[in-house]
Amino acid sequence: MIVDPYEIEDTNDWLGSPTSLETVKHYASMLEEDVQDLKRQLQAAKENISTLVEMNDRLSIELQKKLAWVANLEAESTDQLFKIRSLTLILDQKERIIRELQAGS
């Protein structure tokens, strides 16, 4: 649809209608508010990231401690398991010898 220029209503001289300059100033003001809001959001995001990095560092240290603790427990468990197997083998040998002695008497 093509509109002829004479059909477009010119509102520049209406009472209370903003001029082009006033409209641009208002739009610039809105953009400035948006920029300030975005700066506040960016600062909050940076603080959140900083907090998350600190939390991650603390959790990483704690994880390393727990992994070392688990590795120590595994080593102790392996050592105890080896001792149990040795004692079980000795007990089996003792019972076999007792049976042989009882069978021979």
Tens digit of each residue's pLDDT (9 = 90 or more) over 41-98: 999 999 999 999 999 999 999 999 999 999 999 999 999 999 999 999 999 999 999 9
Q: Say if CB 16 and CB 10 are below 8 A apart.
A: no
Rounded to two decimals, the pTM is: 0.54
- Assess if residue 65 is contained within a domain: yes
Number of folded domains in the chain?
Answer: 1
Q: Which two tokens stand for residue 68?
A: 């070392």
Residue 28: inside a domain, yes or no?
Answer: yes
DSSP 18: P
pLDDT digits (tens, 9 = 90+) for 5-42: 666 666 666 667 788 898 999 999 999 999 999 999 99
Q: Indicate the burial class of 102 (C-beta count within 10 angstroms; 0-12, 13-18, 19 or more).
A: exposed
Rounded distance between C-alpha atoms, residue 58 and residue 66, angstroms: 12
The owner of tokens 């042989």 is 100
Q: Is residue 59 part of a domain?
A: yes
- The answer to whether position 7 is within a domain reads no
